[in-house]
């Protein structure tokens, strides 16, 4: 299994070093200037539809492209106290969707409690699932739990062939993913009329942009169905963000400047107008608020008026709205081509 940047003592484990690298990129116009020329600066929220909770960096896998630098050695985990604050804050809003992510969010001791509480408030819940976690011993009843609570499963599967998936996510991860998808399918996930939604997420294995979503979705459906009898609802394609372990891969392989140039050349004003940070609030494992999960990993907290750091406890007392979103060079990953978020209907507005 690969090691996290932290375990390797790599200098890119520091968000400051990642931001320094992004700021020194020679091959593209600064992102805020590009947004200005598209009349999108400052970038403003359009109304929060998604309450995204990142419960921590612990994961059973160490994928090569992870923007979180998650892995088995990471100890950052959301506590019950912060999970309770999440639910208190959520209850004070009418935000319809709760999106739980990590690491492997299911391995957090408060994951099931968060799901139950959010569902009790009548909110739609999404679980960002790496699939192999469904086979981890103590999690064997997890598919039943997810089905019982009508949780939408958004599952990473880079490709429909083992070689590409294992190269990115680890040895035998493809086989485990297929086994986990089979478990979900048997419960009705991904099947017409069941109401149990199973969406897959594809990201490219190398330093290139994803192919068009519709064509790839048809290919995934055909190949996974034919070879493994797997069904699912939608395939989302995401662009690899030049942060975390993917940034390290780009630099190590000599692809960094070329990749950034590719992203900048593919800048799409329609995708830029529909980036997920405009309708998402992102909560870190310690309760700090961010505009998105990527800013979270770069330690760029949400700004509220003159304050540089806003915590969940502030959200309980005040509406966090109307403040410009913090952007930097990594944002080119969200504005290239068709855009890059797996927010379903909201994303489709960019296409
Ligand atoms: S990286 Fe975050 S802040 Fe930047 S455009 Fe994407 S979602 Fe918005």
**Closest ligand 1 atom, CA of 340?**
6
- Give the pLDDT mean for 28-43: 94
Residue 133 Cα, ligand 1 centroid: separation in angstroms?
27
pLDDT digits 0-9 by tens, 52-91: 999 999 999 999 999 999 999 999 999 999 999 999 999 9
Confidence of residue 9 (pLDDT cuts 50, 70, 90): very high
* Distance separating alpha carbons of residues 282 and 122, to the nearest angstrom: 20
**Does 308 score more than 80 pLDDT?**
no
More confident residue, 205 or 49: 49
Nearest to 270 by CA among 207, 211, 208, 335: 335
pLDDT digits 0-9 by tens, 253-274: 999 999 999 999 999 999 999 9
* Distance separating alpha carbons of residues 338 and 319, to the nearest angstrom: 31
Residue 160 vs residues 59, 63, 80, 218, 230: alpha-carbon distances, Å: 22, 17, 37, 11, 11
The number of CA neighbours under 13 Å toward the Cβ of 159 is 15
Residue nearest to atom 3 of ligand 1 (CA): 327
Check residue 266 and give its pLDDT: 95
Q: Is the CB of 275 under 6 A from ligand 1?
A: yes
Residue nearest to atom 1 of ligand 1 (CA): 331
* Distance separating alpha carbons of residues 8 and 3, to the nearest angstrom: 6
Residue nearest to atom 4 of ligand 1 (CA): 331
Q: Is the CB of 147 under 6 A from ligand 1?
A: no
Residue nearest to atom 7 of ligand 1 (CA): 277
Confidence of residue 348 (pLDDT cuts 50, 70, 90): very low
Residue 301 Cα, ligand 1 centroid: separation in angstroms?
12
Q: Is the CB of 272 under 6 A from ligand 1?
A: no
Q: Is the CB of 293 under 6 A from ligand 1?
A: no
Residue 70 sits at the vertex; the CA angle it makes with 66 and 71, to the nearest 5 degrees, is 120
**Closest ligand 1 atom, CA of 293?**
2
Residue 254 Cα, ligand 1 centroid: separation in angstroms?
24
Check residue 171 and give its pLDDT: 92
> Whole-model pTM?
0.94
CB 211 within 8 A of CB 239: no
- 320: CB partners within 8 A, 6+ apart: 281, 289, 302, 304, 310, 314
Mean per-residue pLDDT over the chain, rounded: 92
Strand order in the sheet with 289-290: 235-237, 198-202, 152-156, 124-129, 97-101, 50-54, 280-283, 289-290
**Does 316 score more than 90 pLDDT?**
no
Asked which of 86-100, 154-168, 313-327 is least confident by mean pLDDT, the reply is 313-327
Residue 326 Cα, ligand 1 centroid: separation in angstroms?
8
Check residue 341 and give its pLDDT: 58
Confidence of residue 47 (pLDDT cuts 50, 70, 90): confident
Confidence of residue 206 (pLDDT cuts 50, 70, 90): confident
Of all residues in the chain, what percent carry a pLDDT higher than 70? Answer: 93
Confidence of residue 313 (pLDDT cuts 50, 70, 90): confident
* Distance separating alpha carbons of residues 41 and 39, to the nearest angstrom: 6
Residue 194 Cα, ligand 1 centroid: separation in angstroms?
33
**Does 123 score more than 90 pLDDT?**
yes
């Amino acid at each position: 299994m690969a090691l996290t940047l932290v375990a390797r003592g790599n200098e890119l484990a520091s968000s400051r070093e990642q931001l320094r690298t992004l700021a020194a990129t020679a091959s593209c116009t600064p992102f805020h200037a590009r947004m200005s020329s598209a009349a999108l600066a400052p970038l403003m929220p359009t109304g929060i539809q998604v309450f995204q909770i990142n419960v921590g960096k612990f994961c059973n896998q160490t994928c090569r492209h992870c923007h979180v630098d998650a892995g088995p050695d990471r100890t950052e985990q959301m506590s019950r106290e912060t999970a309770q604050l999440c639910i208190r804050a959520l209850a004070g809003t009418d935000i319809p969707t709760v999106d739980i992510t990590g690491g492997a969010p299911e391995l957090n001791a408060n994951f099931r409690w968060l799901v139950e509480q959010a569902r009790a408030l009548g909110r739609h819940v999404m679980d960002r699932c790496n699939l192999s976690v469904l086979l981890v011993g103590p999690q064997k009843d997890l598919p039943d739990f997810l089905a019982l609570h009508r949780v939408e499963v958004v599952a990473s599967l880079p490709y429909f062939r083992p070689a590409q998936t294992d190269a990115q996510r680890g040895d035998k991860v493809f086989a485990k993913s297929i086994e986990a998808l089979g478990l979900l399918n048997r419960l009705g996930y991904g099947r017409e009329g069941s109401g149990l939604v199973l969406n897959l997420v594809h990201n490219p294995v190398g330093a290139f942009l994803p192919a068009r979503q519709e064509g790839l979705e048809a290919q995934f459906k055909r190949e996974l169905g034919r070879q493994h009898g797997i069904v699912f609802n939608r395939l989302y394609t995401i662009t690899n963000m030049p942060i975390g372990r993917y940034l390290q891969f780009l630099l190590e392989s000599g692809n960094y400047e070329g990749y950034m140039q590719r992203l900048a050349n593919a800048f799409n004003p329609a995708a830029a107008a529909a980036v997920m940070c405009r309708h998402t609030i992102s909560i870190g494992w310690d309760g700090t608020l961010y505009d998105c999960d990527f800013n979270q990993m770069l330690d760029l907290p949400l700004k509220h008026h003159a304050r540089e750091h806003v915590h969940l406890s502030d959200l309980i007392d005040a509406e966090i709205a109307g403040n410009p979103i913090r952007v930097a060079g990594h944002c080119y990953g969200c504005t290239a081509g068709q855009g890059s978020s797996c927010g379903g209907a909201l994303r489709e507005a960019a296409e």
